[in-house]
Structure 1
Amino acid sequence: MERTMQMGLVGLGKMGGNMRARLRLAGHTVIGFDTDPELSDAESLADMVERLDTGPRVVWVMVPDRVVDAVVAELAGLLGTGDVIIDGGNSKWTHDGPRAQMLARAGIEYLDCGVSGGVWGITQGYALMVGGEEGTVVKVRPIFDSLKPAGEFGFVHAGGHGAGHFAKMVHNGIEYAIMEAYAEGWELLEAAGHVSSVRETFNSWREGSVIKSWLLDLAVNALNEDEHLERLAGYAEDSGEGRWTVEAALDLAVPVPNIANALFARFVSRQDESPAMRMIAAMRNQFGGHAVKDVAAGPEHVASRPGEEPAHPAEQ
Structure 2
Amino acid sequence: MRIGMVGLGRMGGNMAERLRRGGHEVIGYDRDPRVSDVGSLAELVDRLQPPRTVWVMVPSGEPTRAVVAELAELLSPGDLVVDGGNSHYADDRGHAERLGAKGIGFVDVGVSGGVWGLHQGYALMVGGTEEDVRRLMPIFETLKPEGEDGFVHAGGHGAGHFAKMVHNGIEYGMMQALAEGWELLEASDLVTDVAGCFRSWRSGTVIRSWLLDLLVRALEEDEELSRLRGYAEDSGEGRWAVQAAVEHAVPLPVITAALYARFASRQPDSPAMKVVAALRNQFGGHAVTSAEGGRAKGADSPGADVAPPIETEK
Q: TM-score range by the shorter chain?
A: over 0.9
How many angstroms apart in 2 are the aligned matches of 1:213 and 1:236? 21
Per-residue deviation, 1:273: 1.7
Per-residue deviation, 1:116: 0.3
Alignment-derived partner of residue 259 in structure 1? 255
In structure 1, which of residues 267, 275, 280 is the aligned counterpart of residue 276 of structure 2? 280
How many angstroms apart in 2 are the aligned matches of 1:152 and 1:257? 32
Aligned ranges 1:294-309 → 2 under 5 Å: 294-296=290-292, 298-299=293-294, 301-305=295-299, 309=303
Change (3 A) 1:51 1:236: same
How many angstroms apart in 2 are the aligned matches of 1:208 and 1:68? 43
Q: Report Cα offsets for 1:189-238 as digits up to 9, x if no partner.
A: 11112211111111111111111111111111111111111111111011
Aligned ranges 1:1-316 → 2 under 5 Å: 5-54=1-50, 56-66=51-61, 67-296=63-292, 298-299=293-294, 301-305=295-299, 309=303
**How many positions carry a matched residue from both structures?**
304
How many angstroms apart in 1 are the aligned matches of 2:203 and 2:276? 40
Q: Report Cα offsets for 1:8-60 as digits up to 9, x if no partner.
A: 00000000000001001100000000000011111111111111122x21000
Per-residue deviation, 1:306: 6.5
* 270-279 or 92-101: bigger deviation: 270-279
Question: Is the contact made by 2:286 and 2:300 (CA closer than 8 Å) also made in structure 1?
Answer: no
Per-residue deviation, 1:78: 1.5
How many angstroms apart in 1 are the aligned matches of 2:281 and 2:211? 40
How many angstroms apart in 1 are the aligned matches of 2:172 and 2:130? 31
How many angstroms apart in 2 are the aligned matches of 1:186 and 1:166? 31
SS of structure 2 residue aligned to 1:231: coil
Identity rate, percent: 62
Question: Is the contact made by 1:96 and 1:162 (CA closer than 8 Å) also made in structure 2?
Answer: yes
* TM-align CA RMSD: 1.5
Q: TM-score, normalised by structure 2?
A: 0.93
Q: Report Cα offsets for 1:272-311 as digits up to 9, x if no partner.
A: 1212222223323333343333343x44x34222786359
How many angstroms apart in 1 are the aligned matches of 2:12 and 2:239? 24
* 275-284 or 9-18: bigger deviation: 275-284
SS of structure 1 residue aligned to 2:74: coil
Letter in 1 for 2:116: W
Letter in 2 for 1:59: V
How many angstroms apart in 2 are the aligned matches of 1:309 and 1:190? 37
How many angstroms apart in 1 are the aligned matches of 2:274 and 2:209? 36
Letter in 2 for 1:198: V
Change (3 A) 1:154 1:310: farther
Q: Report Cα offsets for 1:81-116 as digits up to 9, x if no partner.
A: 111100000000001111101101110000000000
Alignment-derived partner of residue 314 in structure 1? none
Letter in 1 for 2:287: A
How many angstroms apart in 2 are the aligned matches of 1:177 and 1:41? 40
How many angstroms apart in 1 are the aligned matches of 2:301 and 2:227? 43
How many angstroms apart in 2 are the aligned matches of 1:280 and 1:192? 26
SS of structure 2 residue aligned to 1:101: helix
How many angstroms apart in 1 are the aligned matches of 2:75 and 2:191? 61
Change (3 A) 1:233 1:142: same
Question: Is the contact made by 2:8 and 2:36 (CA closer than 8 Å) also made in structure 1?
Answer: yes
Q: Which runs of 4+ in 1 moved over 4 A?
A: none
